Amino acid sequence: MAYEDSYKQVQSPKYECILFHVDDTLYPLSSGIAAGCVKNIEDYMHEMLGIEKCKIPELCKVLYMNYGTTMAGLRAIGYDFDYDNYHSFVHGRLPYDNLKPCPELRSLLLSLPLRKVIFTNADEVHASVVLSRLGLEDCFEQIICFETLNPIQKNTISNDVDDNVAFVVPKSSPSSTHSISSGTEIFDIIGHLFQANISDDEIKLPKTPVVCKPSEAAIEKALKIANIYPQTTLFFDDSIRNIQAGKRVGLHTVHVGTSQRVEGADYALENIHNIKEAFPELWESGKVNKVKHNGTLLETCVIS
């Protein structure tokens, strides 16, 4: 793609920037934040959008897998709502008290002599609260978040967000198409994907106005905004899909939260606190070009 091609001339790249996801990357999954998000999203869909409770779990899964986030999927199939209200509802009651300051990680990040940028699908308020709770609010030069990728034009359909989507067909029987109070017809995505004898080439889903990972277009947009060269950037994320999309864009990738390196991940790092142990060369200011990349997948696996 054009953005990747424009940087092919970079020779013998060294790491100049570290790109960090926030949730379940800078803190462990066991914090309960992710589980809280799932519950709050389901509550929002029932209480604010009037979706039947029995249909929500399957719908959430299908939207998340096909659009990157449930919010993006809801907008794609026809639900209209205020993004700020959605974020306030979903994040406003999360168990942030479970997140504690981490002076060890703070010290590591502040001593890292490279650019450090946050890249999250969440809104700026959530990202800021999490970083503050962890004591990391001043460790990064920039936060690329929902508002960064989705400025002002909240209802403009994106032509790029459905690239490289692996459509996920639900296992349950289809539900009927329904309408919301405004009279807008809601696209029956489960029923559509459940159709018998439909091939992947025939699956046409509505596009979403929301730009988010794991869309390659979203990642490329974030890199442009932050003036980041993918070939000299190390990308830490807990999501396999995000890691794989990042790899396709040209980033060096680290799958966080596991010791098993998956396809698309150059490295696997079980705990972000082990970053210096796993990548000591990042702290060697002026010598960070020891790690080379020749355009092929690196085989090194960091097990913490």
Between these two residues, 173 and 80, which has the higher pLDDT value? 80
Q: Is 105 found in the same domain as 16?
A: yes
Question: Is the pLDDT reported for residue 284 higher than 50?
Answer: yes
Residue 157 in any domain: the answer is: no
Instruction: State the alpha helices, DSSP H only, in 16-172.
Output: 33-47, 56-67, 70-76, 83-91, 103-111, 124-134, 146-149
Q: Is 266 found in the same domain as 244?
A: yes
Cα–Cα distances in Å, from 81 out to 75, 119, 127, 292?
8, 24, 21, 46
Residue 302 in any domain: the answer is: no
In degrees, to the nearest 5, what angle opens at C-alpha 169 toward C-alphas 168 and 173?
150
Range of the domain at 139: 2-29+101-152+212-290
- When pLDDT is averaged across residues 15-21 and rounded to a whole number, the result is 96
Residue 230 in any domain: the answer is: yes
Residue 270 in any domain: the answer is: yes
Q: Could you read off the pLDDT of 211-255 as tens digits, one per residue?
A: 999 999 999 999 999 999 999 999 999 999 999 999 999 999 999
Residue 185 in any domain: the answer is: yes
Q: Residue 143: how many CA atoms within 13 Å on its side-chain side?
A: 21
Whole-number Å distance between alpha carbons of 121 and 110: 24
CATH code for position 231: 3.40.50.1000
Q: Is 118 found in the same domain as 9?
A: yes
Number of domains in the chain: 2
Q: Is 180 found in the same domain as 252?
A: no
For the sheet with 233-237, list strands across it.
142-144, 115-119, 17-20, 233-237, 252-256, 267-269
Q: Is 144 found in the same domain as 283?
A: yes
Question: Is the pLDDT reported for residue 48 higher than 70?
Answer: yes
Q: Could you read off the pLDDT of 73-132 as tens digits, one per residue?
A: 999 999 999 999 999 999 999 999 999 999 999 999 999 999 999 999 999 999 999 999
Q: Is 117 found in the same domain as 178?
A: no
